[in-house]
Each structure stands twice: as structure tokens, then as C-alpha cells.
Structure 1
Amino acid sequence: MAAVRRGSAPSTALSSVPLQMLMCLSGTCSALYFLATLLMIAYKSQAFSYPQERLALDLALLSLMGALEAPRLYLGTKGNLTEAEGPLAASLVLTVASALLSVYFLLWQTLVLWADAVLSATLLAVHGLEAVLQVVAVAAFVS
């Protein structure tokens, strides 16, 4: 085992602190988004004429979005902290899928309220920034 000499240059860490901070923020935003969207769907189903098949689709897609969040954050955090491009790339794929679901709730949901648009656009912006930082981190890990 080689001894570390005093005064020697420390090894450089490639993990991204901004990405790690954004992942923490994204987890909180996603949890709040899920809860707020679920409550708005419940409100819209009572206050408006909401077709049952569309209600089922919106709830299924919201559930899928919630189910993708835990593995997305786990793989992203693991990949970033261990400087492994595999888990981080898998998290990037899940981030893109989650962003597409955000676009659905922003544009194509059965009834889009002003609050839906604001929440979805905010989550989409967070996911977009996170995807950019993930691509940069993967590029740094590969080189």
C-alpha cells in the first residue's frame, strides 16, 4: 500500500456539487408536485365534467411519474457520488421520461388549470437543468 506524502496534490473529485444540490431540490419539488397535482385532479373531477377514462389515464400517468422518481434520484445520486457514468446515464434516461410526463401534464392533460401549468413548467425547468448537469457530469466521468 502506497503511503500518501505530505504536500502531494490531492486527487481531483469529478462529482458535481450543483448536480447533487439540484437532485435534492428535485426530490422535494417532485414530491410537492405529485401531491399538488393529485389534489388538483381530485378537485377537477368534482368541479368539472371529467370523463372517467381520462381521469384514470391522468392518475395512472401521475402514479408512473411518482414511481419513476425514487429510482431516478437514487441512480443519479449514486452515479454522481461514485463518479460512475452507468447509473448517472440511467438516471438521465429516467429524467427524460419524467420530463415527458411533465410535458403531458403541462399541455395534454384533460383539464389544465393555471396552477397545473405553473407547477408543470417549474418541474420541467428543474428536470431540464438537471439533465444538462447530468450530461456534463457523464462527460467528465468518461474523459
Structure 2
Amino acid sequence: MAMPRPGRSAIVLSSVPFQLLLYLTAIYFIFYFLSTLSMIIYKSRVLSYPDDRLACDVGLLLLMAALEALRLFCGVKGNLKETEGFVVANLVLTGTTVLLSVYFLAWQSYVLRADVIANSVLLVAYGMGGVLAFIIVARFTSVYS
């Protein structure tokens, strides 16, 4: 019989669906980043894209990529180490990346149909991840308190 970890429950609380969703979201975000960057380049060549808006859109896309990497790190670490702090950080970062995704969905200078499709898929993944993260935080806090 396995000995319980010090300060932890003998029950494994990590979520396989959440871990899988984080992995799939990471793969999809690579596609999303490259396609959004390609569409920004396309729009800047074909349409009259204001220079200040172009710099803003590229900067926000790079910020979104950095926040996504941090979000995935916090989610994976929090899930595998069963610490609610990292999962809560994942939730906060998910909210921030959702706002950036909504920007690219509705508020950028030109929105193509491909933008709508790519952002809709990303928002669905973020929604599912948020629901799973809330469940995980509730499970971690109920067992450890």
C-alpha cells in the first residue's frame, strides 16, 4: 500500500481531461498564432491597414502568445502538483486571453471569416478549460481544507 504524501491526500486529484485539454489547446494555439499572424500580414498588404493599428494588432498577438505560454504552464503545474494557486492563476490568465481573443474576433480593424472561425474555436476551448479549472479548484480546496 502506498504511503500518503506529506500534507497531501492519498487520492490523486489531478484531472486527465484538463491535462488533455491543455495539451490540445497548446497545439491549437500554435496554429492560431501562425494563422492570425498570416492574416494580419495579408490584411496589411491587401487592405489599407493603418500603421498604428498594425503595430497594435501584432503587439497584442505577441502579448497573447506570452500569456498563453504562462497560462499553459500554470495549468499544467497546478494540475500535476495539485496546487490550487497555479490553477487559479490559470483561470485569471484564461480570462485575459479570452479578452484578447474577443479583440481579434470583433474589435480589430478588419475581421475576416477565417478570424471568426479561428477565434470561435479558441473561445470554445477556453470555455471548456475554464469550467474544468473551476471544478479542479473546487476539488483541491474541498480535499485540502
The SS at the match of 2:38 is helix
User: Given residue 119 of structure 2, which amino acid in structure 1 is its aligned partner?
Assistant: S
Q: Determine the structure 2 residue equivalent to 1:117.
A: 116
Residue 43 (structure 1) aligns with: 42
- Counterpart residue type for residue 55 of structure 2: A
Deviation per CA, 1:102-139: give whole Å up to 9, x if none.
11100101100000000001101101110110010000
Deviation, 1:99, is: 0.9
Pairing 1:82–2:81 present: yes
User: How many residues are treated as equivalent by the alignment?
Assistant: 137
Counterpart residue identity of residue 71, structure 1: L
- CA distance in 1 between counterparts of 2:107 and 2:124 reads 18
Structure 1 unaligned runs (5+)? none
Q: 2: distance between equivalents of 1:93 and 1:12?
A: 27
Distance (whole Å) between structure 2 residues aligned to residue 92 and residue 142 of structure 1: 15
Q: Which 5+ residue runs of structure 2 have no aligned equivalent?
A: 4-8
Please tell me the root mean square deviation across aligned C-alpha atoms, in Å: 1.5
Sequence identity percentage: 51
Structure 1 residue ranges, 4+ long, deviating more than 4 angstroms after superposition: none
For the residues of structure 2 that align with 1:100 and 1:4, how far apart are their CA atoms?
Answer: 44
Equivalent residue, structure 1, for 2:92: 93
Map of 1:32 onto structure 2: 31
Larger radius of gyration: 1
- TM-score normalised over the length of structure 1: 0.92
Residues 44, 14 of structure 1: alpha-carbon distance in 2 compared, 3 angstrom cutoff: same
* Aligned AA (1:54): R
Deviation at 1:141, TM superposition (A): 0.1
